Amino acid sequence: MSYLNAVNDQALLDLSIDLLSRPSITPLDEGCQDLMASYLEPLGFNIEPMRFEDTQNMWARKGDSGPLFCFAGHTDVVPVGEESHWHNPPFEPKLIDGMLHGRGAADMKGSLAAMVIATKRFVEQHPNHKGSIAFLITSDEEGPFINGTTRVVDTLEARNEKIQYCIVGEPSSTAKLGDVVKNGRRGSLTGDLVIKGKQGHVAYPHLATNPIHKAMAALDELAKTVWDNGNEYFPPTSFQISNINGGTGAGNVIPGILKVQFNLRFSTELTFDLIKARIIAILDQHGLDYDIDWTYNGLPFLTDHGQLLNAVRSSIKEITGYDTDPQTSGGTSDGRFIAPTGAELVELGPVNATIHQVNECVKFSDLEILTDVYQRLLEKLLLD
């Protein structure tokens, strides 16, 4: 059977366009989850809205036995930027020369449509499949990630509802659909550092303490530190200063404080505690007077073996004819909240070339292929 030829193009296109037409900038959902629920509920899914503060989440599940296969994703999108720079209004999606244009086309409403249509076909063709299928959808992935997936996972964990297999629809592909999947991500730790000095007149430096001067050697050492060498699955840990601010704006004033924000993307060779200890040791070694606040953005995670990764690889091969490359590069995703529960997790979605850009778009035929791959995954994991 050719799964590609079995795609119902119009159903996929209609749902994609309906989702893309909704201006669901974080943390707004604008009815996207209700739209998805309208497709899922007739298939036997129990729809459980979970609203936490300003964030709309949805947990939808069909079945009560294992294994539990979960599609995870987000309905929120980033701001459009200068709308006049778009050649087509960002929330008026349009298919142009085979490319579906609109904010969220690649990140990640196209994936959401593919998930729903793949599930619809699978359930209609295999109503007595084993296990359960679920959707974990949030409107808070692109924003502060406080009241979204992490809160839903906490709720599921509290009632011992365990996900065995999870596909996150983030745009993982590089040049063509399925050439790259993410089977892990680096951890992320942000530090907000305030280095204290004493403000004074530049003509009387002996009466002041310049925090910029005092910080230079320590910041240089932090930037040059080899934190680790990575491993088979992860590149070496990276330390980057992302923001730095000091001074009053006047040319004749020594500032009293220097503010430095930095981030580390780290491998499984390190932990939060190890990183913090090394940073504090360097700051103390240089005799700095400082305060520091930490933001724990997520631990590294990895699915380096198991049924899910095997099924992803074979499904992509069967549908596309080529092999996929599992990688752990890139930023963070909501997978960091799901993987620690013990779930096997892989990110699989469209080409990421235009995400967060003006004129975001995705090749519609890639969404057709993605739908077939998702359906084939369900068949491999939920059919005897």
Q: Which residues are catalytic?
A: 76, 141
329 phi and psi, to 5 degrees? -75, 170
C-alpha torsion sign, points 201, 202, 207, 209: positive
Note whether 262 and 193 are within 8 A (CB): yes
Checking DSSP bridges between strand 94-96 and strand 99-101, what pairing results, if any? antiparallel
Q: Which residues contact 211 (CB under 8 A, 6 or more apart)?
A: 195, 196, 197, 246, 255, 256, 257, 258
Prior bond to 108 cis, omega within 30?
yes
Strand order in the sheet with 132-138: 46-52, 55-62, 132-138, 68-74, 165-168, 344-347, 180-182, 325-327
Q: What is the dihedral of CA 326, 324, 384, 340, to 10 degrees?
A: 20
Please state, in angstroms and rounded to a whole number, the distance separating the CA atoms of residues 80 and 357: 8
Prior bond to 27 cis, omega within 30?
yes
Note whether 66 and 132 are within 8 A (CB): yes
